[in-house]
Amino acid sequence: MVSEFRNHPLTDFSKPENKAKMQEALESVKSEFDRIYPLYIGGKEVETGDLLKSYNPCKKDEVVGTFHKAGKKEVDQAIEAAQQTFKSWSFEYPQKRADFLFKAAEVMRRRQFELNAWMIHETGKNWVEADADTAEAIDFLEFYGREMLRYADEQPVTPVPGEENELIYIPLGVGAVIPPWNFPLAILTGMTSAAIVTGNCVLLKPASDSPTIGHKYLEIIQEAGLPPGVLNYMPGSGGTIGDHIVSHPKIRFIAFTGSKEVGLRINELAAKHQPGQIWLKRVIAEMGGKDAIVVDREADLDEAVEGVAVSAFGYQGQKCSACSRAIVDESIYDEFVEKLKERSKKISIGPVDDPNNYMGAVINKAALDKTLKYIDIGKKEGRLIYGGEKGSDSGYYVQPTIFTDVDSKARLAQEEVFAPVLAVTKARDYDHALEIANDTEYGLTGSVYTKNEDKIEKAKKLFHVGNLYFNRKCTGALVGGHPFGGFNMSGTDSKAGGRDYLLLFMQAKSMSKKV
């Protein structure tokens, strides 16, 4: 009997033994730096000779790993291998498929500090953020394994006299999983494991900024005993193979997390029928946000300041759930701004293998250039009160940056920056604040700080986001507790870590027999 799901606990790094384990892991994985990793297709390692290097954004000349890149030929080979494997994997007992996830969770728990270390080095997450990422990945494995067992149980149907009726869920086929670099283990694990446990076979194309983490997931799922061909590891350039994967007539679904622009491109390509294609492709997409925290005049101001700071500058603002807009009642606006400025001064910046640094570098040079461009825009649209400068040239560092007096229609208040840049906007009152909060094309996360229960109830009805929080930060969704996914241009309304998520990777088959 499988136990009830519980979220994996976070590591307490104030304990000397945990701190020592983390430091040991950080040093240990360096011995594997610049290792060359092959593709993995149908259970075989494949080398193409076309190489991609992954770098540490905090130490931009430090190579974390080197990867053979897939081309269109390898994509076709992987789809063929996955199709062949699907013939048997799709009929594997759901209990056995779930067991692979439970075994993988055990391996992941054992390798937790090592996985944290890889993320710290490859994606610039600080210790706490990396540990939370690993914990969430473990949660996805445990949660989706249990969910598969639930869906494999007898499903309720209305009795019909003279008939035996049943409804079962069957897998879709061969799909593409395209995860982001900002949650390089958690989201990758969640999307891939959901597809696998429901009986599908997968082409996994990891983000080009975090292919090492993708390979570590492959190692873990191999150790759990997953049959060859179920998961095919395909790092490569999105510009070279992305359209080919999505457009391929044998691809049945695409699970994607990333930018709005790429998500829309995938949705458009997937909607176009290809010769030989016998289905409508399914797209499961999460595409970011322009998330707001509303600070009411009846809020605990110190709590609100802390929530905004952590939400805006945690992991360098590179979360789709990050607060990029603070909307503050005019009666407390000046006091809030001053407190937020003082709080932000306490943020330490530098290489995050040092636990004393809260903020590392943004992910790459393109991200840094985009951030600096938006800072220049912000100087024209608002009043810069803190930050706004590059950090050390040893990595892609930028200061936490705050602009105040930003109009709700300004670019800085409307466009996703994906960086530690916060726009603060003044609201006349609570109703006006909610109006501003809803005034973007996105609808992912949001938060409201207020002690007034009536105002909380109003926000529940009117604040149009997929994940809404009260008197707490707008980041840090927990699997099972906070099913995650948003509205409008934030995606396809799917809820990762929720009880309906696995349905997106299956289809229902109804059967009736006369008796």
What 3-state DSSP class applies to 55?
Answer: strand
pLDDT reported for residue 34: 84
Is 286 annotated in the active site?
A: yes
From 253, 299, 213, 217, select the one nearest 79 (Cα to Cα): 253
| CA 452, 457, 462, 464 torsion-angle sign | positive
User: Catalytic pick from 58, 74, 147, 320?
Assistant: 320
pLDDT reported for residue 197: 98
Domains of the chain are: 16-287+493-514 (3.40.605.10), 291-478 (3.40.309.10)
Rounded to whole angstroms, how far apart are CA atoms 191 and 284? 9
Averaged pLDDT, 227-249: 97
Write the pLDDT tens digit of every residue in 63-81: 999 999 999 999 999 999 9
Write the pLDDT tens digit of every residue in 194-224: 999 999 999 999 999 999 999 999 999 999 9
Residue 207's contacts (CB-CB under 8 Å, 6 or more residues apart) are: 179, 180, 181, 184, 214, 258
* b (16+ CB within 10 A) / e for 344-370: beebebbbbbeeebbbbbbbbeebbeb
Is 474 annotated in the active site?
A: no
pLDDT at 2 exceeding the cut of 90:
no
What is the overall mean pLDDT for the chain?
Answer: 97
β-partners of residue 11 are: none
From 233, 229, 230, select the one nearest 215 (Cα to Cα): 233
β-partners of residue 422 are: 402
Averaged pLDDT, 120-132: 98
Averaged pLDDT, 144-151: 98
User: Catalytic pick from 129, 142, 147, 286?
Assistant: 286
pLDDT at 1 exceeding the cut of 90:
no
Which alpha helices (H) appear in 198-300, and where do they start and end? 211-223, 243-247, 260-271
Write the pLDDT tens digit of every residue in 102-121: 999 999 999 999 999 999 99
Which alpha helices (H) appear in 53-93, and where do they start and end? 72-89
Write the pLDDT tens digit of every residue in 442-487: 999 999 999 999 999 999 999 999 999 999 999 999 999 999 999 9
Contact 168, 141 (CB under 8 A): no
pLDDT reported for residue 428: 98
Contact 412, 381 (CB under 8 A): yes
* b (16+ CB within 10 A) / e for 491-502: bbebbbbbeebb
- In terms of C-beta distances under 8 Å and separation of at least 24 residues, what long-range contacts does 481-488 make, across chains too? 481/7, 484/286, 484/321, 485/286, 485/444, 486/286, 486/289, 486/442, 486/443, 486/444, 486/445, 487/443, 487/444, 488/441, 488/442, 488/443, 488/464
pLDDT at 493 exceeding the cut of 90:
no
* Phi, psi (deg, nearest 5) at residue 483: -50, 130
